[in-house]
Structures are given as structure tokens and as C-alpha cells.
Structure 1
């Protein structure tokens, strides 16, 4: 029966405009979805990590004093550890969240099993409720971030390193991820600041 059913097609959503980004973030801020879903969405936008990487994030991956998130290799698509700089807004949010879920393994515990992480499907469900499911999917955050960061003048190599896109050349990949970390930290702080601006403009 499964073979007789048509396969699910991956839908690649286009990058959101600055106005759409602001409207989306504003909608989430004003919607009474669970704090976990709201915080998960925010962290995804602040870091441009994949939806499952964010939804399944564990507290022991974070060093909030150094503003760094180390996603272990086993949770990465390319099976390589990914070091993510955290903007000030993310650190502030995570410090507040730690007071709520810091006694659990995961930042966002599952609704039915508090010892397991929430499902990334919760993000898609919230988007459906907000009326965004036809225009935006969680994975489109990365496409949008890449497009807008290129417009902001950042080097493609730094953007690719932030997105943890696999480079076929091992030496080049190691070099890029090490060399561009400081640039990525500055880039993601400006990105988070821009997100705040676009959200404020949507609420004006």
C-alpha cells in the first residue's frame, strides 16, 4: 500500500522579503502558541540552523558565557561538529529559558515525553495555524538568511560556513570554519539586529 501512494514532494519555498520576515516574527510574537515553539522559531532565525537541529538542541551543547553553541557531529547532516556563534538576543533568551527547562536535557522538551525533545513538526503546525504554511516552511529560514546576508555584503564563504554546507575539500572546509568564525559572529549579530528592526517595522 505504501508503494502505491505517491511520494511526498519536498517543497522549496522562496526566500522571504524583509517585510515578510518582519510580519512572520511579529505574528509569532503576538500568537499564543507555546513558549517552546515561539523560542524554537526565534533561535532558528537567530542562528539559521536546521529546524531539527534547533528543536532537538540539548543544554550541554551551549556555553552561554562564551555565546557559543556546539552542535555535535551526530546531529549534523554532514556528520561534522558545527560551532555556532550566538547573538546577544539569543543568549538573553536562552538564559531566561534555562530557568524554565534547564533541569531537562533538552531546551525544548517534548509535550508528551518531557525526557525527549519536541518535534520540528510543531513549528509547521504553528505556521499552519498562523496562515503561513503555503508561503513559508521552517527550512526556508536558511534560504532567506542566505539571500539577505548576501545582500548585506557578507562573503559567500562565511555564509556557507554559517549554514554548515558541506565543502567537498576537507582542508578548505576546516579552514573556512575556523577562519570565518569571528566574521560569522559579527555577521549573526548584525543579522539578529536586522531581524529586530524588521519585526518592529511590521508592528508599527
Structure 2
């Protein structure tokens, strides 16, 4: 995280399947997608942008767009303030209220796990599992 603070992320079933499918390639290495030049660092935003461009989506998609798509779609599906706050927390956004940000350290992991699973189910609808 660029903010240098912990950001726990509950992983969907599909994400866990992808990690297991990558394990023969990565072993117990700390990163699934290491930087080619510096293996102790993750791939960069520029690397992701190049992959998007090479896949034929240049000018139509950007990696950061996944965050806005997630926020928009999940906020459309979940119309209550509590879930809105959880969705923002999943994106590592701090509460707008400074007092709440200072005192409320709830992670809402069960709800975050449910929303992450719903998002993965939407993205992977009709796709083969990673293990296939």
C-alpha cells in the first residue's frame, strides 16, 4: 500500500484458486507477480497498463478503472450506508469524518468477504476455474 498502513483483503474462492494454480510457478515466493528487474518488488502500474494495451484495449480501459467499476457496481447493488462504508473500506478509502477515522478501526471482514465473493462471481461468470 502506498499509504504505508495495513490493508487486509479478504480473497474470494476464485482468487484462492488462482493463487493455488500459480503456486507451482511461484513456490513460496512472497509475490505472485514480481517485478522482472527487482524480484522483491511487485509489478508496476505501468506493467499493468502495458498488458491492457497489448490485449487490444488501449484507450478503452486502464487498470485503475477496475477500482471505479467495483465501486460503481457494488454501490448500485447495495443501497445502504453501511455497505457503502464497507465498499469504501475495501478500496482503502478513509472515512470522511476524521473522528470516525481516528477511532473506528472495525474491519467488517465478514461483510467484505461476502462483497468480494459477489464481485468475483460477477467477473468470473461463465469462465473456467483456474485449475482447469
| TM-score w.r.t. length of structure 1 | 0.53
Q: For 1:122, which of 33, 47, 52 is the aligned residue?
A: 47
Matched residues, number:
124
Shift of 1:182: 1.2
Q: Distance in 1 between matches of 2:38 and 2:107?
A: 40
What does the per-residue CA deviation read over 1:103-125, in whole Å, with 9 as the maximum and x for residues that have no partner? Answer: 43322122234344322211111
- What's the counterpart of residue 108 of structure 1? 33
1:76, 1:82 within 8 Å by CA — same for their partners in 2?
no
Relative to structure 1, is the Cα distance of residues 122 and 133 closer, same or farther in structure 2, using a 3 angstrom cutoff?
A: same
Q: Which has the higher contact order (CA 8 A, sep 6+)?
A: 2
Shift of 1:136: 1.2
Q: How is 1:48-197 mapped onto 2 (pairs within 5 angstroms)?
A: 75-77=1-3, 79-153=4-78, 155-169=83-97, 172-173=100-101, 175=104, 178=106, 180-197=108-125
| TM-score w.r.t. length of structure 2 | 0.78
SS in 1 for 2:125: helix
SS in 1 for 2:8: strand
1:158, 1:180 within 8 Å by CA — same for their partners in 2?
yes
**Which ranges of structure 1 fall in alignment gaps of 5 or more residues?**
1-74
Relative to structure 1, is the Cα distance of residues 136 and 178 closer, same or farther in structure 2, using a 3 angstrom cutoff?
A: same
